[in-house]
A and B are shown apart, each in its own frame.
Chain A
């Protein structure tokens, strides 16, 4: 028997996806021209599925900082910080991150995935209990598997359910660690952080918030949902990524807790991997400085998210529960989602196809994300393309009303 026999289901799924042309899991960009435009098969497409929320991937200062450091320090560190040492850029970026969040300490990881893997797996020991939101990102689930703790899921965004589950532990020893996210990447909804923080205080638990999709997007200073919900003092650890709002690669964790730096010699995904190249550190540092100085970026991406959400809701699409820069369009079934995605690409709009089990509630989703550089015209163009395909596939019943301006107050948000 082939060693790949265990993947037979996956093989069949892939074959089905490839049957009628473009396989959504294998999109090849000939070129990325800007944060909002790319080329696929020689055709220009508008990018609405990149999570490049602030559009900083082509920012002149970030690019210049990276190029300068690439020439000055070479292409890579060729090893871990434990073995090859910490470069000045690693240390200064950690200081910059700690200052940005107004916390005592920051740790830089080589990817956002590894930040969760490293932080959670090291913190949660044998007698401890991890309480994770049911819709957590795969990196959180994988981190749990790498830890020695007991792992309990609580119902998505349900603080009462979390409290009930923690109460079931009764007098069991060990730390309670709650893990939640700022903006959830599939449906674009936010965690009820005030309620979760209250449970944390009442149960004397620790709280980790993953702000991968909310850093730079939410909060007056761009510090994410913790800032927007005014619970920063209750949050013990914030995890984040450099690969979305900061336009590069890498991850981080920050904390005020004494002892946090011990993780540098306890978190294996931090210890046993090469550190980020100085050039990437330099672009991240420049991007973070930009966020710190330019609150308009966050305001623009939020306004753009509202415009896309409002337009699609007015057109009659079924969406995620909240307007945010992640806008998910619910499809009636998997086959329709795949066909919709293909037709949309042919219309010149690229977004993400998200299928179960990567989605909550076994939903088939078209997941889009806006960034701060999308113009109103580009957003309206994407809405119009979605409407054309929606009408063609019978998902929409009548042509959408002309989009004029975001009018969130007119949208009846479905209950969570």
Chain B
């Protein structure tokens, strides 16, 4: 659980750098619809997360991700898989 919180916190930290300051981000935030990121911005954001967690996040998996929570769950699984 602690690790999952840490993953989520790091996702939020990276996201916060890409959007207008002051927009609140939580686990339920929908990354594209609530934050107004276009498709390329989302892929660039995912690339940042790949570096941070030293994993590969295939683009086809991103298609299933809507919220910050979905993404942290996916990353958690990929980190486990890679170790």
Contacts and interface: CB of A to CB of B under 8 A. Distances in A.
Interface of A: 134, 144-145, 150-153, 155, 165, 168-170, 356-357, 360, 362
Given A165-B50, A168-B54, 9 more contacts: A134-B43, A134-B44, A150-B60, A151-B60, A152-B59, A153-B59, A169-B56, A356-B38, A362-B41
B58 A151 contact: yes
Contacts, number: 37
Contacts of B43: 134, 153
Q: Do most interface residues of chain B lie in helix, strand or loop, or is the interface mixed?
A: helix
Contacts of A155: 47
Given A134-B47, A155-B47, A168-B82, A356 B56 contact: no
A246 to B, nearest CB: 30
Nearest to B58: A150
Interface string B23-64: 000000000000000111101100100100011101110000
Contacts of B56: 150, 152, 165, 168-169
Contacts of B50: 165
B39 A144 contact: no
Contacts of B82: 168, 170
A165 B57 CA distance: 10
A152 B60 CA distance: 9
Interface residues of B, number: 15
Nearest to A359: B40
21 contacts: A134-B44, A134-B47, A144-B59, A144-B60, A150-B58, A150-B60, A151-B58, A152-B56, A152-B58, A152-B59, A153-B43, A153-B47, A168-B55, A169-B56, A170-B82, A357-B38, A357-B39, A357-B40, A362-B38, A362-B40, A362-B41
Contacts of B55: 168
A392 B41 CA distance: 32
B44 to A, nearest CB: 7
B83 to A, nearest CB: 11
Interface of B: 38-41, 43-44, 47, 50, 54-56, 58-60, 82
Contacts of B41: 357, 362
Contacts of B40: 356-357, 360, 362
B46 to A, nearest CB: 8
A152 B49 CA distance: 13
A134 B58 CA distance: 13
A360 B50 CA distance: 19
A130 to B, nearest CB: 9
A155 B50 CA distance: 11
B78 to A, nearest CB: 10
B39 to A, nearest CB: 5
A170 B55 CA distance: 11
Interface centre among A134, A150, A153, A168 (most CB of B within 10 A): A153
A123 to B, nearest CB: 16
A134 B40 CA distance: 9
A362 B55 CA distance: 25
Contacts of A134: 43-44, 47
Contacts of B38: 356-357, 362
